[in-house]
């Protein structure tokens, strides 16, 4: 079920638990699925030099980012026996403790979804031009870099 | 040729703008970077990759006139 045109992966603000729960609910009709696996990226309140991160403001080079997400999808469908896959990433401000990345993979069998999810999340971190400005409680900031 | 240039993330703090269009003679990506480095003298202290037409390119890549973007380290997820 791979799509040929890039979808818009981005959502403004945090990804709500309602949205995530509803995504799970929508898969009840897909009864060939035997295993789901979900990754939720959460904004961490890092302490850096005595200051605490209160939020991350996400921006992206959106067209290229959506193209990269599309390539990651296509590549994951080629490599793994997936029934379906959904990726959502936040733009704008996401507070510490809120969800900024939601990756959801489904397959008839469990082993596939463990491997596929790690592959997809690592590819997102490495290849997608998304930028994060870590805002501290005193309104100063620094730029996040994926390690 | 006219080239639209997009600045992303922390690069915007150096350029003070998110995009602009520059007239350049052509040549390689490095030629355009020379122009940008002389225009924005803090740029050489920044870590970034360059995309042309939404694909990462090297300094030796020929300019085609498609959009250029300066992409600082990625921080998705």
Give per-residue pLDDT as tens, B6-41: 999 999 999 999 999 999 999 999 999 999 999 999
Q: Do A131 and B69 touch (CB under 8 A)?
A: no
Res. A3 pLDDT band, cuts 50 70 90 = low
Architecture per CATH, domain A10-20+31-143, reads as Alpha-Beta Complex (3.90)
ipTM: 0.95
Q: Do B9 and A128 touch (CB under 8 A)?
A: no
Residue window 5-24, chain B: list those with CB within 8 Å of chain A. Answer: 6, 8-10
Q: Do B8 and A133 touch (CB under 8 A)?
A: no
Q: Does B33 touch chain A (CB under 8 A)?
A: no
B25: tokens are: 């003679």
- In chain A, which residue's Cα lies nearest the Cα of B50? A129
CA–CA gap between residue A103 and residue A67 (Å, rounded): 16
Q: How many CA atoms lie within 13 A of B3 on its CB side?
A: 28
pLDDT, residue B41, reads 93
Q: Give residue A44's region: left, alpha or beta (phi > 0; psi -120 to 50).
A: beta
A28: tokens are: 């009840």
Helix (H/G/I), strand (E/B), else coil: A25: helix
Residues of chain A with Cβ-Cβ distance to B54 below 8 Å are: 61, 63-64, 67
Angle at which helices A62-79 and A110-127 cross, to 10°: 150
Nearest to B76 among A133, A143, A146 (CB): A146
CATH number of B2-71: 3.10.20.30
Q: Where do the structural domains in chain B lie, given as residue ranges? A: 2-71
Give per-residue pLDDT as tens, A26-64: 999 999 999 999 999 999 999 998 999 999 999 999 999
Q: Does A91 touch chain B (CB under 8 A)?
A: no
Res. A104 pLDDT band, cuts 50 70 90 = very high
A91: tokens are: 């733009």
């Amino acid at each position: 079920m791979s799509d040929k045109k890039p979808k818009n992966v981005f959502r403004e603000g945090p990804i709500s638990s309602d949205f995530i729960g509803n995504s799970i609910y929508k898969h009840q009709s897909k009864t060939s699925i035997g295993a789901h696996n979900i990754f939720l990226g959460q904004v961490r309140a890092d302490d850096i030099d005595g200051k605490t991160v209160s939020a991350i403001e996400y921006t992206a080079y959106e067209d290229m980012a959506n193209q990269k997400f599309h390539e990651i999808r296509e590549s994951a469908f080629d490599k793994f026996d997936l029934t379906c896959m959904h990726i959502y990433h936040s733009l704008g401000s996401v507070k510490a403790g809120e969800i900024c990345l939601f990756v959801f993979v489904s397959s008839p069998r469990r082993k596939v979804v463990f491997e596929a999810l790690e592959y997809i999340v690592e590819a997102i971190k490495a290849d997608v031009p998304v930028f994060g400005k870590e805002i501290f409680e005193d309104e100063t900031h620094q730029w996040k870099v994926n390690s | 040729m006219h080239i639209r240039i997009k600045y992303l993330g922390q690069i915007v703090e150096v350029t003070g703008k998110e995009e602009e269009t520059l007239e350049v003679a052509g040549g390689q990506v490095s030629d355009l970077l020379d122009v940008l480095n002389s225009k924005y003298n803090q740029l050489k202290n920044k870590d970034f990759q360059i995309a042309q037409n939404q694909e990462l390119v090297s300094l030796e890549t020929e300019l085609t006139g498609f959009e250029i973007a300066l992409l600082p380290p990625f921080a998705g997820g």
